[in-house]
Amino acid sequence: MRLSRYFLPVLKETPSEAQIASHRLMLRAGMIKQATAGIYSWLPLGFKVLRKLENIVHEEQVRAGHVPMLMPTLQSADLWRESGRYDDYGAEMLRITDRHGRDMLYGPTNEELITDIFRAHVGSYKDLPLTLYHIQWKFRDEVRPRFGVMRGREFFMKDGYNFDLTKEDALHAYNRHMVSYLRTYERMGLQAIPMRADSGPIGGDDTHEFLVLAETGESEVFYDSVITDLKLGERVVDYDSRAECEAIVTEWTTPYARTDETHDKATFNAIPEDRRRSSRGIEVGQIFYFGTKYSEPMGATVQGPDGKPVPVHMGSHGIGVSRLVGAIIEASHDEKGIIWPEGVTPFHAGIVNLKQGDSEADAACEALYASLTALGLEPLYDDRDERAGGKFATMDLIGLPWRITVGPRGLKNGVVELTSRRTGESEELPPEAAVEKLAQIYAGHVLRPAF
């Protein structure tokens, strides 16, 4: 993308309404604009990151064998009356009346709707196991929306639902979700720690939240430092293998890690003192096993092997996709701006032309642009006629992990400058070598246009 043709309205001033770094930086970097309280437009740069996260979530869910679909944003109130949650949900549910006076609502979650689909179409245990998921906009009428997309009212979320014949099968689904979530967060450059949690309004027996450590997190968290050494890395997981999934879950849930809601001081104090950590965390996902809580009242049964109807064992599993954009920034920024991890960066590298209009510099930038594009990488070329200082400040603010600086002086010596946003370190090298280095850096990443 050429910046002269893009829409990147960066702000020089820090907006006064923003209390936390991610909110400030998303506004300043031209990623979002508030439409009304707690509701945002995603400007091109923000949309691109959101879409990248969405793609990663899809890829990892499909890899785990889960099936994508899409439920609507608006739902009929009838199903929620059937499950008994219509009255329970309170003022956070946005209730709507249509032109015929029918009660509707903007879905805050989809247990009822997916259970309705299941009971209409699935009749036999032979159709199980089944996990369906979607990524869709949801609404929660927060009384005091704040922190930008971290606590908005209209938010983008992945929610998945497993349907299984037995509790054991459903616990395998639970484990499969935990593993796929760990991989999802790792690909986003995040360390998200699973912590035993409270089940809240969804209900259920087993539940873990995934928390990203960040000073601005809403939860207080306590953990054994050994958990932060764990990585899936290049491990290939067979999601059909119960033993494999269970082993990973055991590995991640054995070290102590709890939010203040479930914190147990005695157990925590039994950890060697040098490994005890307390911090704050941002919740970026949660998984639940809730058994037959919805299938029983809503009659979601299958014919079991003995011909008798069995209510299915279910769980629901969510990742806050729009919230993750904020969480990643909270975890990765400095005083100059955002620092995107390579897995989620909206553009793979910035190209800064120090002397726009200089025929040699222009040609070198165009050649770099073409070479990177040919590799499937997406460069952002600042081709505006601006001062170098302004171009650098914009690149630092929007946080592309790599910057190539091209100027007449370097070109005389046959070199350009490749700079890491994270370390600030630069090296001079021939343009082809800079391209080659970026190709290596992104070799392990899925390259796909993220509209």
Query: Is residue 387 classed as helix, strand or coil in its secondary structure?
Result: coil
Token look-up 């969405």 returns: 54
Query: Is residue 124 involved in binding its own copies (CB under 8 A)?
Result: no
- The least distance separating its own copies from the CB of residue 314, rounded to whole angstroms, comes to 15
C-alpha span between 16 and 334 (Å, rounded)? 19
Query: Is residue 130 involved in binding its own copies (CB under 8 A)?
Result: yes
Query: Is residue 376 involved in binding its own copies (CB under 8 A)?
Result: no
Query: Is residue 16 involved in binding its own copies (CB under 8 A)?
Result: no
- The least distance separating its own copies from the CB of residue 76, rounded to whole angstroms, comes to 4
Token look-up 């259970």 returns: 115
Query: Is residue 65 involved in binding its own copies (CB under 8 A)?
Result: yes
# binding residues, its own copies (CB under 8 A):
62
Query: Is residue 188 involved in binding its own copies (CB under 8 A)?
Result: no
Cα 27 to Cα 34, 70, 451: the distances in Å are: 9, 30, 20
C-alpha span between 172 and 421 (Å, rounded)? 41
- The least distance separating its own copies from the CB of residue 44, rounded to whole angstroms, comes to 5
Q: Hey, which residues does 122 pair with through a beta bridge?
A: none
- Which is nearer to its own copies, 217 or 346 (by Cβ)? 346
Contact 346, 30 (CB under 8 A): no
Cα 162 to Cα 61, 128, 159, 249, 311: the distances in Å are: 12, 9, 10, 18, 13
81: left (phi over 0), alpha (psi -120 to 50) or beta: alpha
Residue ranges in 32-51 that form contacts with its own copies under rule CB under 8 A: 33, 35-37, 39-44, 46-48, 50
Cis before 297 (ω within 30): no
DSSP, res 312? P
- Which is nearer to its own copies, 72 or 430 (by Cβ)? 72
The runs of H, that is alpha helices, within 89-231 are 111-121, 167-187
C-alpha span between 371 and 387 (Å, rounded)? 25
- Which is nearer to its own copies, 99 or 412 (by Cβ)? 99
- The least distance separating its own copies from the CB of residue 73, rounded to whole angstroms, comes to 6
Query: Which amino acid, one-letter code, is at 260?
Result: D
Token look-up 């689909």 returns: 117
Query: Is residue 370 involved in binding its own copies (CB under 8 A)?
Result: no
- Which is nearer to its own copies, 6 or 268 (by Cβ)? 6
Token look-up 């629901």 returns: 316
Contact string (CB under 8 A) for its own copies, positions 81-120, x = contact: ----------xx-x-x-xx--x-x-x------x--xx--x
- Which is nearer to its own copies, 409 or 448 (by Cβ)? 448
Sole window of 52-60, 215-223, 245-253, 310-318 interacting with its own copies (rule: CB under 8 A): 52-60
Residue ranges in 131-150 that form contacts with its own copies under rule CB under 8 A: 132, 134, 137, 139, 141, 143
What is the Cα 428 distance to its own chain's centre? 35
Interacting residue with its own copies among 68, 189, 297, 376 (CB under 8 A):
68
Query: Is residue 75 involved in binding its own copies (CB under 8 A)?
Result: yes
Query: Is residue 447 involved in binding its own copies (CB under 8 A)?
Result: no
The runs of H, that is alpha helices, within 84-129 are 85-88, 111-121
- Which is nearer to its own copies, 239 or 340 (by Cβ)? 239
C-alpha span between 399 and 187 (Å, rounded)? 18
**To the nearest 10°, the Cα dihedral for 209, 211, 217, 219?**
40
Query: Is residue 294 involved in binding its own copies (CB under 8 A)?
Result: no
Backbone φ, ψ for residue 294 (5° rounding): -100, -35
Query: Is residue 69 involved in binding its own copies (CB under 8 A)?
Result: yes
- Which is nearer to its own copies, 31 or 438 (by Cβ)? 31
Q: Which residues bind its own copies (CB under 8 A)?
A: 5-7, 9, 30, 33, 35-37, 39-44, 46-48, 50, 55, 58-59, 62, 65, 67-76, 78, 91-92, 94, 96, 98-99, 102, 104, 106, 113, 116-117, 120-122, 130, 132, 134, 137, 139, 141, 143, 153-154, 448-449, 451
